[in-house]
Amino acid sequence: MPEFEQQQSALEDVLQEATAAQGMHRWFWGEGVCLLASHRLAVSRGKQTPAWVNGFFEPYMTAAPMLEHVNNLAPGAALAELYRNDPNDRRLALLRDCLSWYQSAPEATRAPNGALEHWPGGVWADTVYMAGQFLLRMGSVLDRPDLVDEAVSQWLRHAELLQHPQNHLLVHGTHGGARIDCHWGRANAWFALVGADLLAATGDEQVERRLVALLKAVATVQPSHGVWDVLVDSVPEVRGLIETSAAAGLGAALLRTAATLGPQRLGADAYAQLFEAGERAVLGSMAYVDAGILTRVSAGTILQLIPFGYSVIRDDRSQPWGQGLAMEALAAWRETHPTDRSRRAVSTMNESEKDPTP
């Protein structure tokens, strides 16, 4: 095996192992991100879904989880993928419980335009990923195009409220109906990741238009080392405070979107812009993996009313969403890079040196 392939496989192995070693058991969003990403990385490598992913769901087959928030839908996306490969009644019952919560639970409130709220009175970009990946994959697995359509509809309704009309970047959310103009990196990553999957599944023209505008915008403000500040537009309050999970997620979305549309649909210049930005983001974020843990990941973050509220970076312990987004980045790299091209990209970028700022 060539040296680069060995290094790539070793990095993937150590990320999977470190993620499994965290011993995740909660039916919640960070775990859901890791479950789906671990499955996708295994598929991209031509391997079986890791045993820990299957094992995560076993206790919930006999004692169903408490569903009380949209974040509880996140593990359902990976469960749908397991059901695709090995359908059984217990898995189907749990998937239907998740769908029932989405459709009729009193906690699943909607904004006036129909967007599912993260909390009553607030629409967040996070919601589109947590609910959207579940709806997309359940719709695909059960041959329910209405659920796929609902995932698209929610993405577009969120875009209507959260995509800035001038710069096309995503804000994290709304508060009391007002858009808070903080362009948090991971919010842009959540939105772009599920948008890339929806585009690949449906070819929806409205999704394409808004997603390409977003990805061109983030590519335009990307630093040369590939990793954005925690707010991607680098406002003064957080300038130089880099955050890696957003770069990993955005890198995956950039690569997948460029590959889905190709130079014929995007045009040669736009295709190169998105693909190369995706390469920079993936390589830049992977430079911060230490012993299988993605470092410089922001904490679990509620909607902040001022930019400095997004400044909390957690290196004291592993963040599961960081692990998941790192695996999404590596999965997207494998999906879009033949081996020889992968070697050329890395050598050209000189291993994407870290940002020298502290």
Task: Decide: 234 and 221 in contact? Cβ < 8 Å.
Answer: yes
Instruction: Assign 182 a pLDDT band (cuts: 50, 70, 90).
Output: very high
Residue 259 lies in a domain: yes
CB neighbour list of residue 23: distance below 8 Å, 6 or more residues apart: none
> What's the pLDDT score for residue 339?
64
Residue 348 lies in a domain: no
Q: Count of alpha carbons within 13 Å of 240, Cβ hemisphere only?
A: 5
> What's the pLDDT score for residue 157?
98
Residue 55: give the domain boundaries: 3-340
Mean pLDDT of the chain: 94
Residue 18 lies in a domain: yes
| Total residues found in the chain within this entry | 358
Residue 78 lies in a domain: yes
Tally of structural domains, the chain = 1
Instruction: Assign 192 a pLDDT band (cuts: 50, 70, 90).
Output: very high
**d(Cα 180, Cα 187) in Å, to the nearest integer?**
12
**d(Cα 83, Cα 351) in Å, to the nearest integer?**
38
For residue 173, give the H/E element and its range. Answer: strand 173-175
Find, among 155, 187, 190, the residue nearest to 170 by Cα.
187
Residue 350 lies in a domain: no
Residue 182 lies in a domain: yes
Find, among 157, 258, 161, 171, the residue nearest to 216 by Cα.
258
The amino acid present at 23, given as its one-letter code, is G
Question: Considering the chain, what percentage of its residues have pLDDT values greater than 90?
Answer: 90
> What's the pLDDT score for residue 341?
53
Residue 49 lies in a domain: yes
Per-residue tokens: 68: 């009380």
**d(Cα 341, Cα 319) in Å, to the nearest integer?**
31
Position 358 pLDDT exceeds 90: no
> What's the pLDDT score for residue 317?
85
Encode pLDDT of 248-280 as tens digits: 999 999 999 999 999 999 999 999 999 999 999
Residue 357 lies in a domain: no
Q: What is the CATH number of the domain that holds 102?
A: 1.50.10.10
Position 131 pLDDT exceeds 80: yes
Per-residue tokens: 314: 């957690």
Model confidence, pTM: 0.94
Encode pLDDT of 57-77 as tens digits: 999 999 999 999 999 999 999
